[in-house]
Amino acid sequence: MKETVNLAVIGAGRIGRLHASHLAHRIAGARLVALADVRRQAAEQCAADLGVSKVFQDYRKVLDDPEVQAVVICSSTDTHARIISEAASAGKQIFCEKPIAQDLRQIDDALESVAEAGVKLQIGFNRRFDPNFRRIWELIREGKIGEPHLLRITSRDPAPPPMEYLRVSGGIFLDMMIHDFDMARYIVGQEVQELYAAGGVRIDPEIGKAGDVDTAVVTLKFSGGCFGTIDNSRKAVYGYDQRLEVFGSKGMADTENNTPNRARLITEEGFREDLPLYFFMERYTESYLNEMNAFIRCIRENADPLVTGADARAPVVMGKAAGLSLEQNRPVALSEVS
Ligand SMILES: NC(=O)c1ccc[n+]([C@@H]2O[C@H](COP(=O)([O-])OP(=O)(O)OC[C@H]3O[C@@H](n4cnc5c(N)ncnc54)[C@H](O)[C@@H]3O)[C@@H](O)[C@H]2O)c1
């Protein structure tokens, strides 16, 4: 086991602040030494909150800093591929938030830089590290449900993001369902060969005017014979709805929504429980901690990252195939867009 890993976080927005606070306080073997954000004030505020002394506006200063061994890239998606390539050339170990890019060539260029430099790259598909989903993954690998026949993923947000975000998000398949595409591959352990997408605007006509849909269902055909469905909505009035079921030859494994507590009220009128945890920051806290622990462990133990560059690319291919399928109203083979 090597000594403590010195890290810098690039991008001190929503997710950057979360990873920074975990690295500063909750991850053994990690030391947060620097923060960078084009909005210098955001980096300064985060650094002051966490007691970090080095603050930069230009992320290149982080890459030039010999004290920094690893970077955690949490800037906007359009910057990821470039920063990955430069960080790899600078010899830094890399954690990058999903997705690397919306463009496959940019992803391939970034992955090539990583391979050439021989550094580690882990991608922020945090849901793989959620204890419920991870347990289902284990049950399948232990053979408990036999051969997987059907997968069902429900993934609904409590409210749509602001329109300015939606206009540059890449659309529901690349922005939101990308997590479910990753989960589908991860849980079943097979690649998706073909998919068919249906979708429409059921929540906000402005989303339609921006060229996107807010409600979608995708059916999946896996290479090993499993079939799957994913449904997404941008607005579930009862909060974040994250459920998964795998049905196989020997049984079924599923997981329900996480709620803030397990208390239940039962009266003559019926049963009552609290609503699900509101959104991803509340629901997936443990997964964010677990994924960062895994990243630090893979550096300290010189092991392979648990979410690889190939894992980063495949869901983007699926997102593009889903976009094409919706546009042309037909099943699309992934080989058509990869
Ligand atoms: N895994 C997850 O669950 C999850 C959740 C949220 C966001 N994300 C991803 O994380 C990334 C950031 O999302 P967010 O919601 O935190 O966005 P955000 O807008 O809140 O934060 C992004 C930050 O990056 C900064 N930034 C932009 N360009 C930069 C540059 N060149 N150098 C340094 N800083 C720069 C911005 O000033 C901003 O502070 C996105 O790629 C998003 O897809 C992942």
* Dist. CA 30–CA 33, nearest whole Å: 9
How big is the chain by its Cα radius of gyration, in Å?
20
Strands 70-73 and 93-96: parallel
pLDDT 10s digits, 55-84: 999 999 999 999 999 999 999 999 999 999
Residue 167's pLDDT is 86
> Which tokens is 316 given?
């983007």
Backbone angles phi and psi of 71, in degrees to 5: -120, 150
Ligand 1 contact via 126 beta carbon (within 6 Å): yes
C-alpha–C-alpha distance, residues 171 and 2, integer Å: 42
Which residue's CA is the nearest one to ligand 1's atom 26?
75
Structure tokens at 335: 């080989």
Ligand 1 centroid – CA 14 distance (Å): 7
Indicate the pLDDT class of residue 169, thresholds 50, 70 and 90: confident
Rounded Cα distance, 121 and 7, in Å: 14
Q: Ligand 1: does its nearest atom lie under 6 Å from the Cβ of 189?
A: no
Query: Could you tell me if the CB of 78 is within 6 A of ligand 1?
Result: no
pLDDT at 137 over 60: yes
What are the pLDDT digits (tens) for 233-250? Answer: 999 999 999 999 999 999
pLDDT computed for residue 311 by the predictor: 98
Residue 109 in this model has a pLDDT that exceeds 70: yes
pTM of the complete model: 0.96
- 144 three-class SS: coil
Task: Please write the tens of the pLDDT for every residue from 195-225.
Answer: 999 999 999 999 999 999 999 999 999 999 9
Q: Pick from 63, 52, 67: which is nearest to 10 by CA?
A: 63
**CA of 233 relative to ligand 1 center, distance in Å:** 22
| pLDDT given for residue 2 in this prediction | 66
